[in-house]
Amino acid sequence: MNITCRLARVDERDTLEALQRRASLKDEFYREQLLSLPGALELPSGFIEQGLVIVAEDSDRPLGFAVVLFPSAGRSELEGLFVDPPYWRQGVGTLLIGATLAHAKAAGARHIDVVASPTAREFYECCGFYITGEARTTFGPALAMTRSVNTTED
Over the stretch 18-60, which tens digit does the pLDDT of each residue have?
999 898 888 777 777 777 776 777 899 999 999 999 999 999 8
CATH number at residue 75: 3.40.630.30
**9 in a structural domain:** yes
Q: Considering the domain boundaries, does residue 111 fall inside one?
A: yes
State the total domains in the chain: 1
Domain of residue 64 covers 3-148
Is 153 within the bounds of a domain?
Answer: no
Position 107 in a domain:
yes
- Would residue 154 count as lying in a domain? no
Mean pLDDT of 73-84: 93
pLDDT of residue 31: 74
Query: Where does the chain show beta strands of DSSP type E?
Result: 3-7, 53-58, 61-72, 75-83, 111-116, 130-137, 140-148
pLDDT tens digits for 119-132?
899 999 999 999 99
Strand order in the sheet with 140-148: 3-7, 53-58, 61-72, 75-83, 111-116, 140-148, 130-137
Q: Helix %, strand %, coil % for the chain, to 5? A: 35, 35, 30
